[in-house]
Amino acid sequence: MIFLPLLEEKIGYCFKSKQLIQSALTHSSVRHKGRLFERLEFLGDRVLGLVIADLLYKRFPKENEGDLAKRSAALVRREACDKVAKSLSLQDYLVLVSTEKVSNNAILANAMEALIGAMYLDGGLMPCHQLIQKYWEDLLTEDVQPPKDAKSSLQEWAQSRGKPIPVYKIIDCTGPGHAPFFRVSVLIESLPEVIGEGASKRHAEQNAAKILLESFQK
C-alpha cells in the first residue's frame, strides 16, 4: 500500500483511509487497481466547483452571475487543475501504465480532481475547502476583470460583424477511453475552416477558436 506523508503534508491533510489516497493516485489505465479513479475524479470535480463558487461569491460581492460564471469556468477547467497538480508535484506520486505520459496535463488535472474527491470522502468538505482556498488563491485574483475564453470571444467577434455564431464539429476522436484525443473544426460563414486539437471536446473547441482569433490578429 502506498503511504504518502510528504504529499499529505503538502495538502495539509492526513488520510484516515490510505486506500482512498492510493485509489486517487492510481490512474484508470492501471487495470483493476485503477477502477475507482474516474469515480473519485467525478466527485472531486463537483466538490471543486462548489468550493470555487463559494470563494467567488464571497470574494467578488459586486459581480453578477454571468461574471462569476466566467471566473468559475476558468478556475475549474483542466488548465487550472493541471497547474495546481504540478505545484503539488502530483506527477511524482501517480501510478499509471508505462505507455501513459505522467506529464500529460489531462492526466494530472484528473488526478487533482480525484484527490479532492478522496479527501471529501475521507474528511468531508472542510479539508477540501482549505486545500482549494490555499492552492487556487493566486488563480482567484490573477484576473482583475472576469476572463473571456476563446469560444466566447470568437462568438462576440462574429455577432459584432453580423455573422452567425461559430459552428463546431468533431472531426475525429482517437485514443483509449481514459485518454481520448479530439480534433474539432470551427466554421464561421465565409471564413476558412479551422481545426483545433485537445484531450477533451471542450479543449479542442477552445483551441480551434483560439487559432481562428489569432489568424484575425495576424
| Alpha helices for 5-146 (secondary structure H) | 5-11, 18-24, 37-59, 65-76, 78-87, 105-123, 125-135, 137-141
Q: Which of 41, 82, 113, 205 is catalytic?
A: 113
Respond yes or no: is residue 38 known to be catalytic. Answer: no
**Cβ density class 41-58: b for 16+ within 10 Å, e for less:** bebbbebbebbbbebbee
Average model confidence (pLDDT) across the chain: 88
The pLDDT of residue 27 is 87
The pLDDT of residue 3 is 54
Lowest mean pLDDT among 24-33, 117-126, 181-190: 24-33
What does each C-alpha distance from 197 to 81, 170, 201, 209, 217 come to in angstroms?
Answer: 19, 10, 8, 11, 20
The pLDDT of residue 1 is 43
Cβ–Cβ contacts within 10 Å for residue 129, how many? 17
Q: Which of 45, 82, 122, 205 is catalytic?
A: 45
- Helices 65-76, 37-59: axis angle to 10 degrees equals 140
Contact 68, 140 (CB under 8 A): no
Please give the angle made by the CA atoms of 112, 118 and 120, to the nearest 5 degrees. Answer: 105
Determine the average pLDDT of the residues in 78-83.
92
How do residues 18-67 score in pLDDT, each as one tens digit? 999 999 999 887 766 667 999 999 999 999 999 999 999 999 999 999 88
The pLDDT of residue 105 is 73
pLDDT band at residue 200 under the 50/70/90 scheme: confident
Q: In which residue are the cell numbers 462576440 written? A: 156
The pLDDT of residue 93 is 92
Does this model's pTM top 0.85? My answer is no
What does each C-alpha distance from 81 to 87, 108, 190 come to in angstroms?
Answer: 10, 8, 37
3-state secondary structure of 93: coil
Respond yes or no: is residue 45 known to be catalytic. Answer: yes
Is the pLDDT higher at 158 or at 111? 111
According to CATH, the topology of domain 150-217 is: Double Stranded RNA Binding Domain (3.30.160)
For domain 5-141, the CATH class is mainly alpha
- In sequence order, what are the residues at sequence separation of 6 or more whose Cβ sits closer than 8 angstroms to the Cβ of residue 81? 48, 108, 109, 110, 112, 113
Task: Delimit the domains of the chain by residue range.
Answer: 5-141, 150-217
